[in-house]
Structure 1
Amino acid sequence: MNRNLFPHIIWILVASISFFVGYKFFPAGDVPSAGPGVLEEGDLSLADSNSLKGEGKEASRKQGKGEGSEIGRVVSSEKKMLSNFEIESLGQKLKDSTSPIDKRLAFSQLLQGLTVENALLIRDQIKDFDSGSPEFKEFHYAWGAIGGTDAVMFGVDTVEPDMSPALSGWASSDPQKAIAWFEGLDMENDSSFDPLLKDRKMKAEDLRNHLMGGLVQGLADTDPDLAIGFVQDVLDSGNKAAHGMMHAPISAMIRSSSPLEAAQWASQLDEGIVRDQAMSRTADHFARKDLEAAKEWAKSVSSNDGAERAIGSVTRNWASRDPEAALDWVSGLPEGKAQHSGTWAALNGWAGKDPSAASDYLANMPDSEMRNTAIFGFSDRLVWENPRAAMTWANSITSDEMRNDVLTRVGKSWARKDPKAASEWADSTPGIPSTIQSEIDNARSQQRKN
């Protein structure tokens, strides 16, 4: 045989064998669209939903206007249709695999193939997961995004709390329809809710608040401004449950914006408790990410309404590192609520870090409103380590009104910790107003009941 032909023959044999092996073990229909370690866009779980929705507030604004969330579009379009056998196989892998990566990939593939038709079968694959697990919540979120009312109302007949995450998903993909459905609920006169209200004896108000929490979370995921407006309306109606729901849109804005953008957004909200919470949290986040930039921004708004929340959060963060520098900075701010808030926060933080050094600083401060505020912040923190010293400091405040307020507040804290000692101190300290003694006694009585 011609030696020059030998290498070519060898390569032809290798290619033929490779083709046969590939055809035998990897037929065309079984080849995945991406490698086993690569997640396509549709494979992303809802835990990574921010990447599906696009960056910045512009994407949120579009979704809030009814254009729908990216989750809904990814789940419902360009997906690989799963057979029942494939769903059950993925479900088995989800249950049996000891690899967290393999389990996550299997779950992501189930979500990618989710449709309104196969939702119940896919739910069977995650039904054994704890109702607080990411898999349980994310499945119902995804189902709600494509199934709307049907996905939410499925939860009426289950013992798990799956209605709330399903409503979150629906609100993220079609906020206006989800809001309209929620606001049109008349549970007491709708027999669909009998399994919950009559059989399980749930209160309609509690169920409504539970659902509202899910609704607000979904609105926050797609449009924090829409969610904030909804929460504000609920607060204005007198429903105190909304107090715990305002954090979802604030958190969403912090996640989706730069620290400066989030802080500016908070400062532009309408006056009230929502703005106060948003200012505190965004300023604290800003200070943790970039203290110098946060200081500059906080100082620029220090004369604005509500600025005390921002100043307090920035100063508290700074004081945990360098309390004296933080106090020097605060002293240069315009006199008013913001300056007092910063002073309170600095001494409150310093008391937890080094109470001895903080007390020395207080002892050298001249008598002033600023010193009274500083003592307030110091005593409010010191009471948990040295309540007697905290009460002594509080009693040194020169403003009668503030002294009584601080003594009452600190005394209540002491009474929760050691009611007998707090009551004995009040009895043995001359000049303590009877109203403060009563507050301490009330706190002591309440603790006995508990």
Structure 2
Amino acid sequence: MKNTATIGIAALLAGAAGGYLAGKAGAPATDTTESAAKAALETKTSRSGGSASANAEAKRGARSIADVMKEPGQLARMQALMELYSGMDAAQLEAEAGKLDGMPMAQRLMASFLLFGRWGEVDPKGALAFANTMGFQGAFVRPTVLQSWASVDPENAAKYFSENPREFAAMGFGPGRGGPGGDSGASVIASEWAKLDPEAALAWANGLTGRDKSAALNSVIAEMATKDPNKAAQVASTLTGDDQARAYSEIASKWSSTDFAAAEAWIATLPAESRDRAMASALQTLALTDPEGAASKVASLPEGRDRDRAIEDVAGPWARKDPAAAAAWVSQQQTEDIDDAIRPVMSSWASTDPTAALKWIEALPQGELKDESTATYIWSNRTGDPASSVSLAETIEDEGTRNRTLWMTYSGWMREDRDAATSAVQSSTTLSDEAKERLLNDRGGQGGPGGRWGRGR
């Protein structure tokens, strides 16, 4: 049941409810997802305390999804669902699938993931046949079935995928296309196959063509890199162009998570056209555990896209640890994407210490950094009063940023206290007459600024 647990919990904790609605549910399972599955079990056990045996007995007695959904705690319900489905055969799983439509949406999404994940292991063709009767909803479960199938029988999963491309084309999951989570079917199969037999997975990937081949090779190499980065590097050296650069980047990311010094030494041997991209990926991984150390190495990258990306990747994790230090560091960087770099920093800071964040903003000179910091502060600060937020938004120099921020602020104010917001809109000397009319008439707050929204500065 290990694969089903990993797929279901990983996707749900990532917010990817409903298959590929909004997350990388088709992505390769990682140590993080394994830990999530373990955490679910440990959470349930520790919560039960001295009554663990009694609770376990009660769970074993649960024979319906209705019983499972009475469990307190979301992680406990996930574990109970996995226990419920793990003992079912294909016919029982089909019967349970028929009950999903009568469930509330949130429960249905959770159960669908786990049910079809299990069904994909024991009877994938039956699961896919049922998915084909589900209309539009079937597009959300087919990728889950495919991944589960590939996790236990990748060769036949690959054969079926190649022979039935249209079955997975919905939601952009067909051959040669990336799904909403960013992966193609070939990529998912290759990743699962590489966990079981990397050499066979590599041979299959090399037999593909076009974008399927590129995606599959990259997934195989990425999986190899988690166990033997030197072997992965040897395989990547046989590739060319962007395929090779992308593979080197994947290896750098995986290798740096276990031995940054070794990864850094290897990166230094790469061709110049691949080196900076690989280093940026390594720094992204290093920043998760040592953001200050990663920041100190950003300066080694030449100015350009890879360095800009590294600045953003370091700033976010650092902000969760020390937003003031991260903000100070970002403000000293020369980057074309200062807005992307400061947003995660200010979002964290405004949520945890809005007073300190605002004081820092007020000390900044006028310019893009201050504008973006101010806008993000207003979006992220949930404790400030609307009138103060409006006044702060009016200090933003860039017209587009100012208008978007004012629109958001006034719209939120309208939902909280329409009378007070209406009075503020009517008396504003910043808003144009058109903007006032749109705000006062747009009760849903969905109209957006548009047009000549403000009077200018």
2:194 and 2:200 in contact (8 A); partners too: no
Q: 1:216-275 CA distances to partner (integer Å, 9 max, x unpaired)?
A: 45544544434695785122289x995399797466324332278369739968649x97
- How far has the Cα of 1:290 moved from its partner? 1.0
**Superposition map of 1:197-276 within 5 A:** 211-212=141-142, 215-220=145-150, 221-222=152-153, 223-225=156-158, 226=160, 233-236=169-172, 243=181, 249=189, 252-258=192-198, 261=201, 265=205, 271=211
Q: Find the partner of 1:316 among 250, 253, 264.
A: 253
Question: Which deviates further from its counterpart, 163-172 or 341-350?
Answer: 163-172
Moved more, 390-399 or 369-378: 369-378
Out of 374-383 and 260-269, give the one that drifted further. Answer: 260-269
Which string of whole-angstrom CA distances, capped at 9 and with x for unpartnered residues, describes residues 61-113 of structure 1? xxxxxxxxxxxxxxxxxxxxxxxxxxxxxxxxxxxxx8xxxx9xxx9xxxxxx
CA contact (8 A) 1:235 1:243 kept: no
1:388 is matched with which residue: 324, 348, 357?
Answer: 324
TM-score after normalising by structure 2: 0.50
CA distance in 1, matches of 2:325, 2:360: 11
Aligned to 1:436: 372
Q: Give the 5 Å matches for 1:222-371.
A: 222=153, 223-225=156-158, 226=160, 233-236=169-172, 243=181, 249=189, 252-258=192-198, 261=201, 265=205, 271=211, 282-301=220-239, 303-336=240-273, 338-354=274-290, 357-362=293-298, 365=300, 368-369=303-304
Instruction: Decide whether aligned partners of structure 1 residues 184 and 329 sit closer, same or farther in structure 2, where only a CA change above 3 A counts.
Output: same
Q: Report if aligned partners of 1:414, 1:422 keep a CA contact under 8 Å in 2.
A: yes
Give the CA deviation at 1:289: 0.9
Contact kept in structure 2, 1:372 and 1:397, CA below 8 Å: no
Note the C-alpha offset of 1:372.
5.1
Q: List alignment gaps of at least 5 residues for structure 1.
A: 1-45, 50-97, 108-121, 187-204
Contact kept? 2:330, 2:341, Cα under 8 Å:
yes
Q: Note the 1:47-86 alignment, pairs <5 A.
A: none
* Residue 293 of structure 1: how far off its partner (Å): 1.0
Equivalent residue for 2:48?
A: none
Distance 1:212 1:446, change over 3 A: farther
Q: Report if the CA contact (8 A) 1:412-1:439 is conserved.
A: no
Q: 1:185 aligns with which of 134, 140, 149?
A: 134
Q: Tell me if the contact between 2:127 and 2:145 (Cα under 8 Å) persists in the aligned partners.
A: yes
Contact between 1:148 and 1:170, CA under 8 Å: does it hold in 2?
yes
Task: Count matched residues.
Answer: 310
- On the 8 A contact 2:253/2:278 being kept in 1, the answer is yes
Q: Which amino acid aligns with 2:248?
A: I
Residue aligning to 1:43: none
Partner of 2:86: 138
TM-score, normalised via structure 1 length: 0.51
Larger radius of gyration: 1
Structure 1 residues 231 and 356, CA, compared in 2 at 3 Å: closer, same or farther?
A: farther
AA in 1 matched with 2:260 = P
RMSD: 5.2
For residues 174 and 316 of structure 1, the distance between their equivalents in structure 2, rounded to whole angstroms, comes to 35
1:281-307 CA deviation, whole Å, 9 max, x = no partner? 654432221121122233443x44355
For the residues of structure 1 that align with 2:353 and 2:146, how far apart are their CA atoms? 40
In structure 2, stretches of 5+ residues that fail to align are: 5-52, 69-76, 385-411, 413-457
1:418, distance to aligned residue in structure 2 (A): 4.0
| Superimposed CA distance per residue, residues 322-372 of structure 1 (whole angstroms, 9 cap, x where no aligned partner) | 434433432433344x43332112233444555555555455x48543655
Alpha-carbon separation, structure 2, partners of 1:136 and 1:169: 10
AA in 2 matched with 1:436: E
Letter in 2 for 1:290: D
